[in-house]
Amino acid sequence: MFCDVCKTKEATVFLTQIVEGKMQKVNLCESCSKEKGVNDPTGFALADLLLGLGAAQEIDKNPAGGRCPVCGFSQVDFKKTGRLGCSACYDAFAEGLTGMLKNMHRGLVHAGKVPAKLAVERRRTQELVRLEEGLARAIADEHFEEAAGLRDKIRHLTTEKAVPDEVNRMAAISDKMEASASPASKAGKKS
């Protein structure tokens, strides 16, 4: 098999990438692969020079002259180095990065390990969201017994690591609930 670029030498480097759902293959000889910067561990040069979709092109989707507000890294720097300046660059250049990440990876959402510190916080946030939705539904449906249970769970979760604002807010909700529950028969449980 011959090299796709020079078409004279035997291809020894075989690249395959999925680009927008379509498979693209490029076969290169040793010297063309070096010249095209396939050695470049980023794979940018690859996308850029061979597949024509281009990291450079993707990153240009960001407003021209864009800079990361945190570290001052610019789009030009990114095009030049294939590296980002800091964590905040991922948000600063999000628009251009998304297309690039889509081409590079198997998805756009991390599915692996989460630092334990964050994992606890993450689970709690998710649980709170779930409980609050349940609470809102329960109040709307006037299922006050269920609402009281949910309220207690929320209160428990939020006071676990004292979040004063949240505790105050929950107290206000429970006052309101009691007020609206008292005329009803036995639903409102004193807390």
Partner 1 sequence: MKLSRIIANTGEWLSGSGPHDQIVVSSRVRLARNLKGKPFPGWAKKSERVAVLEEIRGAVEQLPEMEESFSEKLEDLSPLEKQVLVERHLISREHAAKSAGSAVVMNTAQTLSFMINEEDHLRMQAIRAGLQLDEVFAMINQADSELEESLDFAFHDDLGYLTACPTNVGTGMRASAMLHLPGLVMSEQVNKIINSVNKIGLAVRGLHGEGTEAMGNLFQVSNQTTLGEAEEEIIGRLNKVISQILEHEQNARQILLQRRAETLLDQIGRAYGILCHAHSVTSKEALNLLSFIKMGVDLGLFPAKNRLQVDELFIETQPAHLQKGLQTTKLGAEERDSLRAALIRAKLKQMPEPEIGKIPTGSATTLPSEES
Residue 121: which H helix or E strand, with range? helix 116-140
Closest approach of Cβ 13 to partner 1, in Å?
Answer: 9
Residue of 4, 35, 77, 166 interacting with partner 1 (CB under 8 A): 77
* 105 counts as binding partner 1 under rule CB under 8 A: yes
* 128 counts as binding partner 1 under rule CB under 8 A: no
Residue of 21, 41, 65, 164 interacting with partner 1 (CB under 8 A): 41
| Beta-ladder partners of 17 | 24
* 126 counts as binding partner 1 under rule CB under 8 A: no
If one counts every other C-beta atom within 10 angstroms of the C-beta of residue 114, the result is 13
Sign, CA dihedral 183-184-186-191, equals negative
Residue of 51, 53, 84, 163 interacting with partner 1 (CB under 8 A): 84
Could you say which DSSP state residue 14 is in?
Answer: E
Please say whether the beta carbons of 78 and 40 come within 8 A: no
Tell me the window of 15-23, 127-135, 145-153, 167-175 that interacts with partner 1 (CB under 8 A): 15-23
